[in-house]
Amino acid sequence: MDTNNPYEGALPETDKDAVEKITNLIKERKIKIVDLKFVDLPGLWQHFSFPAEKLVNAGGSLWREGIGFDGSSIRGFRQIEESDMLLMLDPATAIVDPVLQVPTMSIICDIYDPVTRKPYTHDPRHIAKKAEQHLKNTGIADTSYWGPELEFFIFNDVRFGQDVNTAYYAIDSQEGAWNSGKDEKPNLGYKPRSKEGYFPAPPHDSMQDLRSEIVLTMMQAGIDVEMHHHEVATGGQCEIDMRYRSLTRMADQCLLYKYIVKNVARAHEMTATFMPKPLFGDNGSGMHTHQSLWKNDTNLFYDKDGYALLSETAKHYIGGLLVHMPALLAFCAPTTNSYKRLVPGFEAPVNPVYSARNRSAAIRIPMYSDNPKARRIEFRPPDCAQNPYLGFSAMLLAGLDGIENRIDPGEPLEKNTYELSSEEAGKMKTVSGSLSEALDALEHDHNFLLKGDVFTKDVIQTWLDYKRTKEVDEVKIRPHPHEFQLYFDV
């Protein structure tokens, strides 16, 4: 056993004080059910529940010994012949569920192998924890802070289907511009025009009260919300911004955020999606990700004399992101639909350049404040389809590789890349044009992810295999509805 590796060996010790507080909270709030949550490899929460009295009556045994489950039924996990796995409850994540009617305590879990008694290498949360430990081991910094901006749509109706002789989707929204002529008895006319949803006041913004209810529910669950608003697209595109947190905790919070958005929308007989590009011809949904490195409570990205108040450390971090950007997108823009958003010539951050204030660049340096604590970089290509544990970890490792190898990001680009001449645009690199290209890039450029044993080769291979067979190939072999428009009369 490597005694320097905190992720090897016996199961983790449980914080007795935290467990006692949770037990008291269960009694005080008359909690009836405990719900255990964990994340699969693609990034969707899984869960199961049991009566709260079992946790209370067990004393500390459930916390020490964990609870078994079948890992063969979870995407990206074990084969059926090695399916037994353990969930270890993390007491720091316990909250009273803010959306369920039955009083329920929600606890996020880590996944362990019951035979080796070690964390499971495919557990995304374990990967995030290793990334944070690797950061400390480098001596470069002790903390990374993350502030993702999650965008999403709230629709009134969605239908989709795929069969041997049909393929379709149909989306509707009461505020969609396409409904401006619909006989709604009465149609009141306040439908945000395409690309004009950012951000007129109500009644144009029909989502104000719903977003406010979502925000209050988030706050009830412990999420520190900074603001909310309508986004650019018509048809109910929204954004709710959270205050930054450390890597693993922010990834936890992203899944809680999605859970609350979807459930509050459903309670209003509406549906929320974090799909990157659900509407044709209007803006897609991204997840611009703010990030910075800190050591001894000092922001390492700040330099009063640097470009946009950025330090050399920050510029090298940017260099790492830009150099590894093609491979990064395999985790940060991880769906075939992601590349309907990341299209050159449209309003998408597809060029691997950086700039202050410039939202057309892949990396923007926000200039709202000259406070040293506010200095950060914003990586704009990611979207909300990513598993945040994997995406944040990959971005951190790319940035650290840039610092360790002093990668020069080049000169900043102050031009609007959306308005370059054809000659200028032809000289600029762009992001991967498809998920298939991003996966190929990851296959050829992933050594930076193996540092500190954060990602392992088997995790990367599983990701490549899953994405290629379950997503890329599945989309590739199906006729597209628009192909009938183009080719039926050939």
Q: Which of 125, 288, 290, 364 is catalytic?
A: 288
**Which residues, other chains included, contact 394 with Cβ-Cβ below 8 Å and sequence gap of 6+?**
328, 331, 332, 449, 455
Q: Does residue 239 have an active-site annotation?
A: yes
Torsions phi, psi of 487, nearest 5?
A: -125, -5
Contact 9, 30 (CB under 8 A): no
Catalytic residue among 78, 204, 375, 380: 380
Q: Which of 70, 157, 224, 458 is the catalytic position?
A: 70
Query: What is the rounded distance in angstroms from the CA atom of residue 301 to the CA atom of residue 271?
Result: 39
Please indicate whether residue 82 is annotated as part of the active site.
no
Q: What is the rounded distance in angstroms from the CA atom of residue 431 to the CA atom of residue 356?
A: 20
Write down the catalytic residue from 40, 97, 151, 175: 151
- Find the catalytic residue in 132, 149, 175, 252: 149
CA distances to 58, 146, 180, 389 from 129, rounded to whole Å, are 28, 14, 49, 9
Residue 101 structure tokens:
């009617």
Please identify which residue in the block is written with the tokens 């958003």: 341
Q: Is 231 a catalytic residue?
A: yes
Give the active site residue among 90, 282, 378, 401: 378
Annotated active-site residue in 97, 132, 231, 471: 231
Q: Which of 359, 408, 443, 453 is catalytic?
A: 359
Q: Annotated catalytic, 8?
A: no
Catalytic annotation present for 151: yes
Q: Is 2 a catalytic residue?
A: no
Among this protein's residues, is 175 annotated catalytic?
Answer: no
- Residues annotated as catalytic are 70, 149, 151, 231, 239, 288, 359, 378, 380
